[in-house]
Each structure stands twice: as structure tokens, then as C-alpha cells.
Structure 1
């Protein structure tokens, strides 16, 4: 069996965001004679070579392919694209390993899909990727995107729920050749990434561009995030987006998404917004609800119009977030009592119809193995057939 460089073991653990104690516990190392951290230390110092069985455990716990452990040296840090986020101090270090794993996974999926499209002669470069610049007016960019999408604001608002409204935009986006995924964790609630860490991710490739929307966010915010990331695709700028908008590019993408979902002219209805705080929040809530947008988007618009200042904007968004978190906790309790929906239906919704369909066709035509299909869809190979057949 090939030798394993102990530096790889240390690198894999650290990039998974695990201390030696936590890793040893997850790997179920140690016993009466020697503690788990001491056992792991022996392997990481090169005193003893790990068995294949242990390497398989490490691959699972550290979220790395088995072959990674046979590299001669730790690889160079993976590329995330640009980082458009502004995070509180310490948050980046705390969340980086999980976020890196999520982004790594998206890059792998995109490469596999692109390969399928190339093999099936469907790899048409999308000419809208990178077709606008920050120098162009927001209203012009918004019109260009709406026209290419064939987006109808009235149709968006006619949907019964905000999730149906999101599905409408998602469907139009996927028809263009952009894959839209809902991902906010590495598969368990322990690995969930809050919207403080990231809201969305755009992989602006000419062939098979990908958009990730953090599904840990409120559903009413998904449409805005999707359009924000779509603006990144139009700019040709791969990268991560956060909740803030300090960078010029984030303001630009926010303003495009805002103009599409909530045209400036409609904000005049709130021109004389007044009364006590309860009345103001009630007016904002009713205004947002009728338009299938979040209250956070409305107050962002009010901030841009200088009807409120940055301090008031922050107070409103904090209050809206607390309200949503309380509502989400209540719904989780109700869902636990009632039982959840079918696993495959949920999974299909998260990966999107476009990704499921391209994978289904590739399997049927023999262009992809069940293992690679599982990697694309984020499921085990044994679950692929059930997923591509889910209604």
C-alpha cells in the first residue's frame, strides 16, 4: 500500500475545521490504554501508518476523497472565486472549512455537468455570461436580464406562495442553461451555514453556470438572492455573496435584484410612511406581502431612498430576522409532529429539475456512472434512480 504523508493527515483534519480532540472522537479512536487524541497524534506525527480502514473513516469525517490521502504534499488552497462578503471578525475562520467544502462540492458538480454537456454536444457557451459591466446603469442591466429571462412581474406576484414565486424565477433561469441549487449545509443540521456566512454563490462559467442559494434563509428571500447571483453571472464574476453590501459590486447586484422585484416607482406608495413603530412595521409587512418580497428588501429600498438611515435599517432588519427565526422554530416543531415530506421530493427540489434532468439523460445514454451521477445530485449512488424518478 502506498505511504501516507502525515502532513496530509494534519492538513485534512485542519481544513475540515476539526481540532484533534473532536476529530479523534468522530473517528472513534482511543481506548483504556491510550486516549483518542494521543492515538491520532501518533498517526499525524508519522510514528505509525494508518490502515486503509482508518483512511476510509478519515475520508468520510474530513469530507475528502480517499485518493487525497495518497498525495505527496498537501494541495494548494482551493479557489472560491472572489469573496464579495463583509463578515464580522472571527466569523471567517470559524466557518471557512465548511464553506470551502460546500464550494468545492459545487465546483466538482459543475465540472461533471460541463463534461456531460461536452460529451453530448450540448456545450453551447452562453453569450450573456459576462455581458454587462459595473459601469452600466442599474435600470438598463435589470431590463436586459428581465428580457432574456422573459420575466413577468405580474406572473411572479400571482403565485399563491413565495416558494411558487421562487420556482417561477428558477424555472426561467434554468431554461437559460443556468443550474440553480438550494444548499445551506453539508448534509446535516450540524453543518448548516447561516446567512451571516453566505447568502449565495455564483459560478459564472460560459458553459453550465451554477447558482447556489442558501436555503437556511427565509423562503421569501430566495428570489432576491437568485436574481442577485444571476446579476453576478451577467457580470461574469464568480464568487460568494453575503448579507452586507459594502462592496460596489454587491450594491450593484442588490440594486438590480431590487429593481426587478420592486420597481422604484412602486416605492412612492410608502412615501408618507409614518406613525409609531408598530404601524410602520405593519405597513411595510403588508406592502411586502402583496408583492411576494421580503420586508428586508423593502427597508433596503427605503434606505436607498434615504427615508430611513443606516441605524434604522439595521434595527428593522434585526427585528425582522428575530421574528422570522421565531416563526421558523415554531414551524419546525409543527413539522416534527406532522412528519416531513418525501426525501426524494425534497432532494429534487433542492438540486433543481434542470440538474436532475441532465443527469437522468446522461445515465440513460451511458455518459455517466451511478457514482458520478450521485456526486452531481448529492446522493449515494444507490439513491440515484429513485431521485431521478421522483415526481
Structure 2
């Protein structure tokens, strides 16, 4: 006998929104959804199980009379301008939880091994001059963009900066999907990064589905949050005048690290065309949107022209990114990608702990997202642990 069950319309809507589906996607995946919502047909238990799996909603919660309150486990500092996002998606929540699990393991590992606290965590406040803090950050990272580009490309610049941030003591995790599930892509319009502050195991997560130039700025923005000593979820909009003071301060620090104001003044030649902005973006390995904001900061572009220029350039950048994304090939070598997703420092620590008997191989496989010992060993070799 087939069993049909009652499900509140608000619960169905909650699950769809939580999955990040638009109405077209929801109807395509579950054509019966319209009738379920209207109450003209009830789902079977099997259908509801498939619906729960597809939306990543806990099956038991589909029987509630009203949607549960799912609060974010970190302070939400996003502006979410024009996105229409009102609830955290399952993809975002699962990503944060996964990073928290890894951070918790690494903190225990650090305590057991007598590791010293990371010196700069919590040493800054929003009252500190962003220019002074940017100089300190440049010293810690060993970078100086005043005389020459950080690297020949945005990808190379991101690798350099992420390696230096890791070397300084902060774990850098970069992923464009949930775990290794390529069917659960993260959306830059929902978030660009987050920080999990801790004196022994600070973590910054960068949304790898974003453009590389945006990832560079987000990395330094989140790194600035580590210096403030507070966790945060960010959407990182350069030049955003609203939002929490911490976000504005982190934006200012990141911008000064990448494009020191004096270098902006000495480099700008007055060309505000798309080509002129591209030249400056390549010189400082940032996005053209950051370039525009810095030109305003340097008083080289009138503020009353900024919004018009920014809106026009943002439209161009989004179109280029969409085109690039459409033509992008596969995800690349698994071991290269996985080492970025995990943080090399974290992966090395887990491998070493498993080999020394401090962590079971079963737990190590789970922490590293591997299932076989051969994959574990290949990943260990890739991150430099043999």
C-alpha cells in the first residue's frame, strides 16, 4: 500500500529556497511540486525522501508545521544588495560546518603539539589606520606591489598570496563546490568568503566559483578579519559604503595592500576606458572594479562619477565572467584541486598525524575527503608529505 503524507506549503518553499533553486529548476526537478503546494496531491514517502535528498533538507524537518530557524554559525556581515537572498542555503551551511570540523581538528592538533598562537590574530581594531595595517600585512606576507606586479597573472598572484597567508599561520581553503560534490556549486552572489577566527587555527575560506581577481581581494579581506580577531561571513563588495564597519575597514586594508594609494597616483594616466582600466588591473592583479574604487580613494575620479562608471564596468565584468565560465574546461587534476580545497597546511598535518598514529586512517580519510589509501598517499605526495 502506497503511503501519502501531508507537507506544509511553507516547508516545501523553505526546502526549495534552501537548495538555492529558482522556480524553473524546482518545477523541472519535481513536476509534482505545484500540486503538492496547492494541496491537490500529496507526496508519497518515497517521493518526499527523494525531495529531501535533492534539496539537502533533513527528511524529518519536512514534517514540521513551519520552517525551522537556521541561524548562521558565524556573524553575517553581508550586504546582499539586490540578491533577494533571505535564508542561508544548504550549500553555504554545509561548507561552514565542514570548515569548522577541520578547524576543530587542527586546533586540537596544535594544542597537542605545543604550537604557538598565531601572532597577529586579534592585534588590530577598526580604529587602526588601514594604511598602517596594510603595511604590516605586506611585511608579514613579504609582498610589495609598489614597484612591480605581484605575479604575471591573477592565478599566479592568488597562489603567491595564499601560500604566504598559509606560511604566516592562517589556513586557506578554496572551493567552488560543497566538499567534492560538483553538483553543488557555491554561488558568489550568496557569499564570497568567510573567516573562522581562532588564535591557534585561524581559517579563511574563499569561494572558488568566483573570478580569480575577486578571489584575490576576498583573500586579503578575510585575512584582515583574522587580524581583527573576529569570525565573519562576507560578500565583499569593493567600495561598499554601507554595511558593518568591520567590512569597510577590511575592504580598505585589502585595497591598500594590493594597490597602495601612492602607487595609484603615480601610475594612473587619466584613461578611464575599459582598456585603460584593464591595464591598471593587470599591473596590480586586481579587478577593474577595485581599480575604480582606488581611483576615487586617490581623488583621481570625482565621487559623483563613480557610481555611473562602477555600474557600467560591473555590467561588463559580469558579462566577461559569465562568458569565461561558460567556456571553462573541467575542474583540473583532482590532487591539485583537493589540496587547495583542504589547505595544504591542514592536509600535511592530517597525513602526518595518521602516519604517527595520532589520528585513525578512517578519520583521516574523512577529513581529507578521500576513500582509498592509494588516494590518500597520492594526496600526501602532492602536498609535500611522503
Aligned residue pairs total 362
Question: Structure 1, residues 133-177: CA drift from partner, whole Å, max 9, x if none?
Answer: 111111221122222333343698252322111111111111122
Compared CA separation, residues 103 and 139, structure 1 to 2 (3 A): same
When normalised by structure 1's length, the TM-score is 0.75
- Any conservation in 1 of the 2:195–2:233 contact (CA below 8 Å)? yes
Aligned equivalent of 1:225, options 202, 207, 218: 218
After superposition, the Cα gap between the structure-2 partners of 1:194 and 1:367, relative to the gap in structure 1 and judged at 3 Å, is same
Aligned residue in 2 for 1:354: 345
Deviates more, 1:313-322 or 1:357-366: 313-322
Cα distance between partner residues in 1 of 2:315 and 2:208: 17
Which residue does the alignment assign to 1:249?
Answer: 246
In the alignment, is the contact (CA less than 8 A) between 2:146 and 2:263 conserved in 1? Answer: no
Shift of 1:296: 1.6
Contact 1:182–1:214 (CA under 8 A) maintained in structure 2? yes
* Separation in 2, partners of 1:226, 1:310: 27
- How many Å separate the matches in 2 of 1:361 and 1:68? 40
**1:155/1:121 Cα in 2 relative to 1: closer, same or farther (>3 Å)?**
farther
- CA RMSD in angstroms comes to 4.2
Q: Can you give the 5+ residue segments of structure 2 that lack an aligned partner in the other structure?
A: 1-6, 34-39
Q: How does 1:71-90 map to 2 (within 5 A)?
A: 77-88=70-81
Aligned to 2:126: 134
Describe how 1:129-278 pairs up with structure 2 within 5 A: 129-153=121-145, 157=149, 159-186=151-178, 187-188=180-181, 190-244=183-237, 245=240, 246-247=242-243, 248-269=245-266, 273=270, 278=273
Structure 2 matches for 1:12-91, cutoff 5 A? 13=15, 40=43, 61=54, 63=56, 77-88=70-81, 91=84
Scaled by the length of structure 2, the TM-score of the pair is 0.76
Is 1:365 the counterpart of 2:356? The answer is yes
Cα distance, 1:87–1:309 mapped onto 2, change above 3 Å: farther
Indicate conservation of the 8 Å contact 1:371/1:380, yes or no: no
Q: Quick one: structure 1 residues 376 and 288, their matched pair in 2 at CA, closer, same or farther if it must change by over 3 Å?
A: same
Q: Report the secondary structure of 2:126's partner residue.
A: coil
Residue 325 of structure 1: how far off its partner (Å):
4.5
Query: Whole-Å Cα distance in 2 between the matches of residues 123 and 371 of structure 1?
Result: 25
CA distance in 2: counterparts of 1:22 and 1:38, whole angstroms: 20
- Secondary structure of the corresponding residue to residue 191 of structure 1: strand
Q: Which structure 1 residue ranges, 5 or more long, are not aligned?
A: 1-5, 31-36, 44-49
**SS of 1:201 mapped into structure 2:** strand
Measure, in 1, the Cα distance between the counterparts of 2:68 and 2:363. 23
1:381 aligns with 371
**Secondary structure, aligned partner of 1:243:** coil
